[in-house]
Amino acid sequence: MSLAEEAARSQPVLVVIDDAQWVDDESAMALSFVGRRLHSERVASPLTMRDTPDAPGRFEGIDRIALGGLSAHEAHELLTALAGSA
């Protein structure tokens, strides 16, 4: 936490955690602790994780946004827009 606070004094900090479902319990508790206390600092820490049976109990006190996948039609539109029509 102090490392992130120190870095944020000179510029905003972004800490990204991907596939958080693989993080061990101790690390999840530490990330939750830091995440709950840095909301007034210039630090953002988005994390992503798959919806697993133990997901609701992990990362307590952290705001959540549930995102779903794209439909086949939406995925086709996105790929066509980015790669052009094939």
Q: What is the pLDDT of residues 61-78, one digit of tens each?
A: 788 888 888 999 999 999
Q: Where are the domains of the chain?
A: 2-83
Residue 86 pLDDT: 53
pTM of the model: 0.64
The two structure tokens encoding residue 82: 């980015």
pLDDT digits (tens, 9 = 90+) for 9-58: 899 988 899 998 888 888 888 888 888 887 667 888 888 888 777 666 77
Which helix (H) or strand (E) covers residue 13, if one does?
Answer: strand 13-14
